[in-house]
Amino acid sequence: MIVTTRQPVSTSERAVRTPAPAKRLVKGNEALALGAVAAGAECFFGYPITPQNEVPEILSYWMPKLGRVFLQAESEVASINMVYGAAAAGHRAMTSSSSPGISLMMEGLSYIAGARLPCVIANVMRGGPGLGNIAPSQGDYFQAVKGGGHGDYRCIVLAPWNVQEMYELPALAFDLAERYRMPAFVLTDAVLGSMLEPARVPLEFPPLVRREQDWTACGRGNRAHKNVVHSLYLDPEVLSAKCEELQATYRRAACEVRFDERLIDDAQVVVVAFGISARLALSAVSALRRRGEKFGLLRPITLFPFPSERLSALAKRVRGMMVFELNSGQMVEDVRLAANGACPVEFFGKMGGVLPPPEELVEVFSKRFAR
Amino acid sequence: MHSCADNLVTDTPDDEFECVAHRPNSMSDKPLHYCPGCTHGIIHRLVGEMVDEFGLLDRTVGICPVGCAVFAYEYFEFDSIEASHGRAPAVATAVKRADPRRFVFTYQGDGDLAAIGTAETVHAAARGERITVFFVNNGIYGMTGGQMAPTSLPGQKTTTSPGGRDPALTGHPIAVCEMLSTLPGVAFAARVPLTSPKNVNLARRYMRKAIRAQLENIGYGIVEFLSTCPVQWGLTPIAAMKHIDADVIKVYPPGVFVDRVPDARAAPVGAETDAGSST
């Protein structure tokens, strides 16, 4: 059951859900690209990097066909600064990349956050650090959720776990980005990007809806005053106040928490996992249930804001929590903060692109919480 | 083509004095923060004059740099976006492509454009982006305290080349206009020293062409201003001007390197197109 703390769902999200065509086999990256088009992305800027290349490839066809902007930039640095420019001028702008490319965007992302611009960045995560490999990873959780670039800022972070959500979450990302004037990530990985599965992904798109905003630097037109988009405030008191505004925005965004719970009601141990890990974890949880062991799954869909309140409440009544990630333990820190010592929080992780079979997870989960 | 005289206020003031010159409407009344003898003030005014002359105030988006001109947006009345160091051409590319009815220019120094932003500069030019670049080349990092730039002259003493720039160690100056002139996307490229009223008038002519390269959908336009930095050069304002005419132009010869913009028609084309911004 997907729990949404804020109703109603965003307008663009409704748009991508209707009309729902018949299911067809769709690749994750294709769904992500078409989801961006359906979400009303006006501009896409990107640079090739595996494993997300289908995203710019598909958008290079659709965006010009629909009279929108597609541009292959000279680098990820240029890509994110193009996103900055388009967003500053009031357009729905997006880029996609994979881990090393996202690292290159961190400076620009900090400027985007500082200037309070909405935009969407998709990270189809691969193994790291360094050049790593092109296999699935969740090693960029810290980078996406905790900031990544310089200064105190946050991004909305959404984590799909199947191809259908790869299609639907870009719309939510744009809506939340605009609602709070902050950048939003769709944080996914090499498996989800490359896998084919049945999903409802139409090839017809709603017309663009222009959203007038009073702060954009789009040319004055008939406006009586100029607009300037910037993040420079030399006076410490002024910058301090601006930073407080940002933090207040992030606190307001906490109401946008979304998560997915399975077999939680009578669970004695809650497995917490996001994205592709949550699918592996659900297989393990189901197998454990068949053995009579009362495991449940909580899958955060929003990694920022994080479902801390729900986890805190659960921590008070369960025997423990089991966090599984494709990294050395990143989200587990947030789970431990939420649990705040109310129950033990165990961690199991795999790095380098290794996906453990569900049987391995069953043994690990069971052993950690053996009576 | 309009001349600067078109900007003069013709209505008679209340007192007996005749107003013969005034601030361009595209500039704010905020006092400039630039050092005495710095040419940023001249270039700001020229930009303001051009936006007035072409009637572009309502559809201009200026992309401001990091460096001494980081507050350029304070001095203009049109919309502006502050870019991170070197990335103005990427920002401008997006603003222009998202709505080609806009007039989009970047205002960049030599550290911004020719060091950290070289890739963005070259690729925006290679793509023939319909943007206009105003390039302020004073051969030094002014704001950060006078460090060596890739444009510093051989032998130039800076705070990071205290013995004088040694090309064997740090290379030779980058001649941006010459480099970009090999790219078919460039419609106009010219360099001018801002050392005399005559040269300022020449700068106006170049700027008109670089702007028309964009407005008439021909290609990328750049004007490189050989500019002063008296404070970081350790020269008086007048000596700094003389230094440009005596030494700088030997390394950076003034002139037109690319001109694919037809000669001026009776009126600037921007003045007759539909006004009003896209959004």
Considering the domain architecture, whether residues A94 and A208 belong to the same structural domain is answered as yes
Residue A305 preceded by cis peptide, ω within 30: yes
For A85, the closest of B71, B77, B81 (CB atoms) is B81
Q: Do A227 and B79 touch (CB under 8 A)?
A: yes
A contacts of B121 (beta carbons < 8 Å)? none
Instruction: Supply the pLDDT for residue B266.
Output: 57
pLDDT at B271 over 50: no
Instruction: State the best of B91, B112, B116 to mutate against chain A, taking most chain A CBs within 10 Å.
Output: B91
Q: Give the separation between CA B19 and CA B22, rounded to whole angstroms.
A: 7
Instruction: Supply the pLDDT for residue A212.
Output: 81
Which CATH number is A263's domain given?
3.40.50.920
Q: Is residue A337 part of a domain?
A: yes
B contacts of A79 (beta carbons < 8 Å)? 90
Instruction: Supply the pLDDT for residue B27.
Output: 97
Structure tokens at B133: 């670049």
Instruction: Supply the pLDDT for residue A12.
Output: 73
From A234, which residue of chain B is nearest by alpha-carbon distance? B71
Q: For residue A187, list its beta bridge partners.
A: A123
Q: Give the separation between CA A110 and CA A143, rounded to whole angstroms.
A: 12
**A/B interface, count of CB pairs below 8 Å:** 151
Mean pLDDT within B104-109: 98
Intervals of chain A under pLDDT 70? 5-11, 13-15, 17-19
Per-residue pLDDT band at B11 (split at 50, 70, 90):
low
Q: Is residue A232 part of a domain?
A: no
pLDDT at B268 over 60: no
Q: What is the pLDDT of residues B50-100, one digit of tens each?
A: 999 999 999 999 999 999 999 999 999 999 999 999 999 999 999 999 999
For B94, the closest of A86, A111, A222 (CB atoms) is A86
The neighbour count for residue B21, using CB atoms within 10 Å, is 9
A contacts of B80 (beta carbons < 8 Å)? 217, 226, 228-230
B277 touches chain A (CB under 8 A): yes
A150 touches chain B (CB under 8 A): no
Reference A43, options A6, A14, A81; nearest CA is A81
Considering the domain architecture, whether residues A195 and A215 belong to the same structural domain is answered as yes
Q: Give the separation between CA B166 and CA B158, rounded to whole angstroms.
A: 11
Which CATH number is A63's domain given?
3.40.50.970
Question: What is the percent of chain A with per-residue pLDDT over 70, rounded to a whole number?
Answer: 96
Considering the domain architecture, whether residues A63 and A207 belong to the same structural domain is answered as yes
From A89, which residue of chain B is nearest by alpha-carbon distance? B95
The neighbour count for residue A351, using CB atoms within 10 Å, is 18
B44 touches chain A (CB under 8 A): no
Considering the domain architecture, whether residues A74 and A87 belong to the same structural domain is answered as yes
Considering the domain architecture, whether residues A202 and A284 belong to the same structural domain is answered as no
Distance from CA of A226 to the nearest CA of B (A): 5
Q: Is residue A182 part of a domain?
A: yes
The neighbour count for residue A191, using CB atoms within 10 Å, is 22
Q: What is the pLDDT of residues A37-87, one digit of tens each?
A: 999 999 999 999 999 999 999 999 999 999 999 999 999 999 999 999 999
SS3 category, A126: strand
- pTM value? 0.94
Q: What is the pLDDT of residues A181-190, one digit of tens each?
A: 999 999 999 9
Instruction: Supply the pLDDT for residue A21.
Output: 83
Instruction: Supply the pLDDT for residue A48.
Output: 98
Q: Do A217 and B79 touch (CB under 8 A)?
A: yes
Question: What is the percent of chain B with per-residue pLDDT over 70, rounded to a whole number?
Answer: 90
Q: What is the pLDDT of residues A196-241, one digit of tens each?
A: 999 999 999 988 888 789 999 999 999 999 999 999 999 999 999 9
Q: Do A228 and B59 touch (CB under 8 A)?
A: no
Which structural domain range is residue A215 located in? Answer: 2-220+241-255
Instruction: Supply the pLDDT for residue A268.
Output: 98
Per-residue pLDDT band at B17 (split at 50, 70, 90):
confident
Considering the domain architecture, whether residues A194 and A334 belong to the same structural domain is answered as no
Instruction: List b or e across A115-127, with b for residues whose CB sees 16 or more CB atoms inside 10 angstroms.
Output: bbbbbbbbbbbbb
Question: What is the percent of chain B with per-residue pLDDT over 90, rounded to a whole number?
Answer: 86
A contacts of B102 (beta carbons < 8 Å)? 89, 218-219
CA distances from B257 to A200, A221, B30, B191, B216 (A): 55, 35, 35, 8, 19
pLDDT at B269 over 60: no
Q: Is residue A236 part of a domain?
A: no
From B70, which residue of chain A is nearest by alpha-carbon distance? A232
Angle between helices A76-88 and A106-114 in degrees, nearest 10: 10
A212 touches chain B (CB under 8 A): yes
Instruction: Supply the pLDDT for residue A252.
Output: 97
Mean pLDDT within B97-106: 98
Q: Is residue A235 part of a domain?
A: no
State the Cα torsion B225-B230-B233-B238 to the nearest 10°. 90
Angle at A222 between CA A220 and CA A227, to 5 degrees: 30
Instruction: Supply the pLDDT for residue A6.
Output: 60
Instruction: State the best of B71, B87, B102, B214 to mutate against chain A, taking most chain A CBs within 10 Å.
Output: B87
Domain count, chain A: 2
pLDDT at B3 over 50: no
Reference B47, options B30, B64, B66, B67; nearest CA is B64
Sign of CA dihedral B183, B184, B186, B187: positive
pLDDT at B265 over 70: no
Q: Would you tell me which residues 76-115 of chain B have a C-beta closer than 8 angstroms to some C-beta of chain A?
A: 76-84, 87, 90-95, 97-99, 101-103
Q: Where are the beta strands (DSSP E) in A98-180?
A: 119-125, 156-158
Q: Give the separation between CA A193 and CA B74, rounded to whole angstroms.
A: 45
A119 touches chain B (CB under 8 A): no
Q: Is residue A204 part of a domain?
A: yes
Q: Is residue A166 part of a domain?
A: yes
Q: What is the rounded average pLDDT for all residues in chain B?
A: 92
Q: Please state the CATH superfamily assignment of the domain spanning residues B32-274 in this structure.
A: Thiamin diphosphate (ThDP)-binding fold, Pyr/PP domains (3.40.50.970)
Q: Would you tell me which residues 46-65 of chain B have a C-beta closer than 8 angstroms to some C-beta of chain A?
A: 57-61, 63-64
Instruction: Supply the pLDDT for residue B264.
Output: 76
pLDDT at B215 over 90: yes
Considering the domain architecture, whether residues A174 and A58 belong to the same structural domain is answered as yes
B contacts of A217 (beta carbons < 8 Å)? 61, 79-81, 95
Q: What is the pLDDT of residues B156-213, one digit of tens each?
A: 999 999 999 999 999 999 999 999 999 999 999 999 999 999 999 999 999 999 999 9
pLDDT at B2 over 70: no
**H or E segment to which residue B79 belongs:** strand B79-82
pLDDT at B35 over 70: yes
Q: Token pair 């902050």 is at which residue? A: A182
Q: Do A42 and B277 touch (CB under 8 A)?
A: no
Q: What is the rounded average pLDDT for all residues in chain A?
A: 95
For A78, the closest of B60, B78, B90 (CB atoms) is B90
B contacts of A228 (beta carbons < 8 Å)? 73, 79-82
A contacts of B123 (beta carbons < 8 Å)? 73-74, 78
Q: Is residue A155 part of a domain?
A: yes
Q: Name the residue type at position A295.
A: F
